[in-house]
Structure 1
Amino acid sequence: MSYSSRFPRPVCLLSLALSLALLSCEKEPVDRLPAATQKGKNTAGFLVDGEAWLPKPSTLNPGNNPVNGYWAQTTKGPILGLSFSDKSLDTPSGLSITLRGVLGPGTYPLNQEPHINLGEGRSAYGSYYRLEPAPAVRYYTGPTATGTVTLTRLDLVKHIASGTFEFTPLEDGGTRTVQITKGRFDVRLRE
Structure 2
Amino acid sequence: MKSSFIAAAILLALSSCQKDDISPDELPPATSTGAETLGFVIDGSGWKPAGQKCGIYGCTDNKVEASSYVANGRRQLLLTADRTDGSRNESFILQLDSLPGPGVYRSNSGGPGATGGEAGTKIYFANSKQSLQYQSRPGTATITITKVDTVQNIVSGTFEGQLSRLGGSGTVQVASGRFDVLYNR
Q: TM-score, normalised by structure 2?
A: 0.78
Structure 1 residue 76 displacement after superposition: 6.0
Is 2:149 the counterpart of 1:149? no
Q: Match of 2:167, SS?
A: coil
**Which of the pair has more CA radius of gyration?**
1
Unmatched runs of 5 consecutive residues or more in structure 2: 1-21
Deviates more, 1:117-126 or 1:147-156: 117-126
Aligned to 2:4: none
1:178/1:154 CA distance change after superposition, 3 Å: same
Aligned to 1:84: 81
Structure 1 residue 93 displacement after superposition: 0.6
Aligned to 1:137: 132
Q: Match of 1:35, SS?
A: coil
Deviates more, 1:120-129 or 1:103-112: 120-129
Aligned to 1:188: 182
Q: Give the superposed CA RMSD.
A: 2.4
Aligned match of 2:71 in 74, 81, 87? 74
Paired residues of 1:75 and 1:120 also in contact (CA < 8 A): no
The runs of 4+ residues in structure 1 deviating greater than 6 Å are 117-120
Aligned to 2:168: 174
In the comparison of the two structures, how many residue pairs are matched? 161
1:137/1:118 CA distance change after superposition, 3 Å: closer
1:23-54 per-residue CA deviation (whole Å, 9 max, x = no partner) reads xxxxx932110011111111111001010111
1:118/1:167 CA distance change after superposition, 3 Å: closer
In the alignment, residue 68 of structure 2 is paired with which amino acid? W
1:88/1:40 CA distance change after superposition, 3 Å: same
Structure 1 residue 122 displacement after superposition: 0.8
User: What are the within-5 Å matches in structure 2 for residues 1-191 of structure 1?
Assistant: 29-58=23-52, 60=54, 63-75=60-72, 77-88=74-85, 90-114=87-111, 122-132=119-129, 134=130, 136-143=131-138, 146-191=140-185
Unmatched runs of 5 consecutive residues or more in structure 1: 1-27
1:39/1:113 CA distance change after superposition, 3 Å: same
